[in-house]
A and B are shown apart, each in its own frame.
Chain A
């Protein structure tokens, strides 16, 4: 047996020991490759990369001004399961929601992690900057972030709150909550940062990024807002299962109607899919049980920066969307009013910058409008 085969056998025995069958493992690698937008041929390469890993990568997961919705979402991951991620793939050394230790013993773990360094820092929730509005262990959350981000090898901000403050930072932002990128800037730290907008984060996106990071040893390609292109490269509208009805000019105008049951487009019910970059229609939620639009719920645009204010009036149709089948009439602008229209225009400008930076300018121009 060659040295390589020996290592491989040892690794697979270890997997077996952990209760993972080789077949399942390869299936997992294949699923991961698919998730990463790679060819299935990458499966064996991913397996090889995992085999090299001798120590599980340590993760410190901090909750700031969050509602733990992203923790909740993460533990709904199905392939790999949260148990596999927590016990077999990563070493989740600090996460207040699941860890057995509390109080003093929890603080010790955090201090030890900071001392050892070399972990991936997952940030859930935004960072309040108003004094006393967010404290952990009697420290301001901004100070906790500074302490824990400095020794980290990379930072992953999961969910809208972590990327830009999210819902609790909507006007008038009572606790002056900021996102992780902004907070790192304020404390003078430069770290590789991955932003995973969505409210809550799709667990499969998080797993995809973590696996990408561990297996390929690099951060996935990001857009100008720091979002992985593999999940934020196209609009929901691009891949929507109701898209054909949009193109044919067939719309739902009442919830729970015959048109809804027939799967007509939800644009007139306020759907923000045309302006929202996320792979929701492909990846879906809860083991692909469903997703918002499939269940007749118009997209509220929760994958976009500042969505709570930008898309306020969630049930009002987006302005500036040309409707096929009606001779390209612009709809909705009259209903939404000047302030929202300005916000939307700003949103489009941001996307233009984002797409220009990532070479998606052409794609953005085509089809969507």
Chain B
């Protein structure tokens, strides 16, 4: 039995260590470790609550906006304030642009190099001038001997299946996508001031009244993104997919899915969000279940914290205590969140499956068409695994970009009718509690705030990658990534490309993962549950 440690795990956000045991060419067991602890909840205590939406954006530089919005929503809830309709729409727009940016970046720059052999692209025989140019550029790059980010990778590994011409096309689009992710971020900046770390979504709505110039600029930019997603991103996914359909069953995992839902509807009903709230369990898949905050517990049996009894985030308290790496005891800074005691996969595939089962018409059509195209009409269960996670992100990217155009039109219609309000004033109550349940591109995100004496008494986040990258719980049930790794065939233990594919399919973001709540004593918080 061979043991492989991958540390650092690269092309993700943050610091992740992966350990697997291999027997008979397959992963027999796996452990995921978050190796950085920062303790944001501790930092938030005692501060002006309105600062929280800025500070929590610094939890993650890849999805800051989602943290900012979840934080402001927890305060909207606590302060009993509702943004005007335009405030709701503009927050959706800033969030939407972040989703589009994140999915493009993930597909091309974080994930694609597990499927695209950059060196093989040199053997392509392109006819088109632009591809010839890219190939020449690549050639001179390789000949320079300074391979930069492409050095020492697994090029030539037998698991790379694309012909040279498709590899070259993908390399060309890797470069093009660098520009497109930046353009998507510009759309967040248009209404958010800058991206990363937007500045305009405090509790109560947004700060800025959009000008005619902003709106015109917006529609033009969104159209450009839509065209590129349809013509390049989705086209690339469809071009690459046939070569990797054999990988469809890999990395399935537990088969439980959670979505808190994202992109607020005018009704403020989380089940009517563009991507609605809900949960799916392997035991009765695809039956839709309610997803409730009070059903969440966190377990620290295998995390570097004192104690280990599973508790709801509203009452959870934990104290950091590093005791060294020992997979039989404690081996990570991540806690193990559970919904109704079950480990849950979160992310675009979870959202799209929940939306599909809930009958959201756009998601339903996109998924039905995709299933039909690969010869599995009416069988969403074939999407479980690494290929389904890729498809989920690509389809969601299109769905969000298309919706963003409509939100721009909705905003213009409101303003045309003389409704320009974007912000509702409020006063901070002496004591208040609130919850913001939302989605980051990487999955379900929750912020809990407890205000006392107009200051933050306690704050807690349960974030996407904590769900995915968590360790075993007290019942020794693996976390979703650990479970998804089990059974994965590894051809060459020295070059574990297949492991990278499974881990990358979850788009881990470790800065988000590690959180702790630490009241000065073992104080139990008393959150109301919305």
Q: Which residues of A contact B (CB under 8 A)?
A: 14, 17-19, 55-56, 58, 63, 65-73, 75-78, 81-83, 86-87, 90-93, 95-109, 128, 130-138, 166-168, 170-175, 177, 199-200, 254-258, 260-261, 269, 284-287, 289-298, 300, 302, 308, 312-316
Contact = CB atoms under 8 A, between A and B. Distances in A.
B223 interface: no
Residue from B9, B36, B62, B322 with most neighbouring chain A CB atoms (10 Å): B36
Interface string B317-345: 00010101100000000000000000000
A172 B43 contact: yes
A160 to B, nearest CB: 9
B38 A177 contact: yes
10 smallest CB-CB distances across A and B, nearest first, come from: A69-B61, A297-B199, A132-B322, A174-B39, A256-B423, A295-B193, A296-B208, A100-B153, A285-B194, A103-B6
A84 B350 CA distance: 36
Interface residues of B, number: 100
B272 interface: no
Contact of B144 (A56, A65, A254): A56
B189 A256 contact: no
Interface in B1-51: 4-15, 17-18, 35-40, 42-43, 47-48, 50-51
Given A71-B61, A101-B152, A286 B9 contact: no
A81 B209 contact: no
B60 interface: yes
A100 B208 contact: no
B268 interface: no
B137 A17 contact: yes
B113 interface: yes
B35 A135 contact: yes
Contacts of B200: 295-297
Given A133-B322, A168-B40, A296-B200, A93 B151 contact: yes
B462 interface: no
A168 B209 CA distance: 32
Given A168-B40, A255-B205, 14 more contacts: A18-B137, A76-B195, A87-B141, A96-B11, A97-B12, A99-B149, A136-B8, A255-B204, A256-B205, A286-B195, A290-B189, A297-B198, A297-B199, A313-B48
Given A254-B425, A261-B209, A313-B48, A83 B175 contact: yes
21 contacts: A67-B61, A69-B62, A70-B61, A75-B105, A91-B146, A100-B10, A102-B9, A104-B6, A132-B322, A133-B320, A134-B15, A136-B15, A174-B320, A175-B38, A199-B58, A292-B193, A295-B192, A295-B199, A295-B200, A312-B51, A314-B50
A312 to B, nearest CB: 6
Interface string B75-105: 0000000001001000000000000000001
A66 B495 CA distance: 28
Interface in B266-324: 304, 320, 322, 324
A156 to B, nearest CB: 17
A61 to B, nearest CB: 10
Contact of B148 (A77, A78, A87, A260): A87
Nearest to B192: A295
Contacts of B430: none
Contacts of A83: 175, 178-179
A255 B54 contact: no
Contact of A133 (B37, B62, B141): B37
B11 A65 contact: no
A82 B43 CA distance: 33
Contacts of A133: 36-37, 320, 322
Contacts of B6: 102-104
B14 A290 contact: no
Nearest to A172: B42
B215 interface: no
B146 A105 contact: no
Contacts of A65: 36, 38
B197 interface: yes
A102 B207 contact: no
B152 A168 contact: no
A171 B200 CA distance: 25
A225 to B, nearest CB: 21
Given A105-B152, A296-B209, A97 B36 contact: no
Interface string B165-186: 0000000000100110110011
A102 B198 CA distance: 31
Contacts of B388: none
B511 to A, nearest CB: 4
Contacts of B4: 103
Contact of B324 (A78, A99, A132, A168): A132
Given A166-B58, A295-B191, A103 B38 contact: no
Contact of B140 (A14, A171, A257): A14
B5 A167 contact: no
B62 A289 contact: no
Contacts of A255: 202, 204-208, 422-423
A260 B209 contact: yes
Contact of A100 (B149, B304, B320): B149
Contact of A96 (B8, B113, B150, B185): B8
Contact of B87 (A58, A256, A285): A256
B396 to A, nearest CB: 20
Contact of B207 (A86, A128, A297): A297
B149 A95 contact: yes
A108 to B, nearest CB: 6
A75 B182 contact: yes
B235 interface: no
A69 B210 CA distance: 26
Nearest to B36: A134
A107 B152 CA distance: 10
A28 to B, nearest CB: 15
